[in-house]
Amino acid sequence: MEPLTTAQKELYDWLVDYIHTNQHSPSIRQMMRAMNLKSPAPVQSRLDHLRKKSYIAWEEGQARTIRLLHNQPQGLPIIGAIAATSLVETYDDTEVEILDLNGMLMKPDYYALNVRGHSMIEAMIDDGDTVVMERPHDIRSIKNGTIVAARVEGKTTLKYYQKKGSKITLMPGNPDRELYPVTEVKASDVDVQGILKAVWRSVR
């Protein structure tokens, strides 16, 4: 790799720190402020040089798509565990982990949860899997049958979402209703915290 000038290295080091911390790329204005510049032109010039020297890349015509090409831990923060049994107390995992996705699904509203329990086996989600979730932007747009991470009375679970009138039913994907009962509550008592986007399963 070609060496960087002092100005280019200053911007690159700042980009590495920002992207590692926030899991998405900054805006031009943020870079201007960080570099104490009053015009976007020198920022764009430094970015162009960083790309030519193969330190970064981005999608043409799309804002905030800068990605690091070297020494970038591509992954999602695993922020805790989600019960796939009945409603249980929220798990509090203190050890910080990163789910390596090799640059896939790197969106600011995405996060990951470790699954505990067998209530979603019919959805091919089992104990020990990791689910990638997206924070919902509009609860009203969630379709019936969507798998969601839901919080009810301070407890969380991974279930199928069904809404009818003012009621929400959280359906397990397991036929054993004795072990995995259906939860039906008022819509106002449910906090949908995530929508399933992907399932990650390691070879055991």
Q: Which domains does the chain have, with CATH numbers?
A: 6-68 (1.10.10.10), 75-200 (2.10.109.10)
Question: What's the confidence (pLDDT) of residue 168?
Answer: 96
Q: Kindly tell me the sign of the dihedral angle through the C-alpha atoms of 177, 180, 181, 184.
A: negative
Q: Are 25 and 56 in contact (CB under 8 A)?
A: no
Low-confidence ranges of the chain (pLDDT < 70): 71-77, 85, 88-108, 203-204
Question: What's the confidence (pLDDT) of residue 98?
Answer: 61
Question: What's the confidence (pLDDT) of residue 184?
Answer: 94
Question: What's the confidence (pLDDT) of residue 100?
Answer: 61
Which positions are annotated as active-site residues? 119, 159
Question: What's the confidence (pLDDT) of residue 92?
Answer: 57
Which tens digits make up the pLDDT trace of 14-46? 998 898 888 889 999 999 999 999 999 999 999
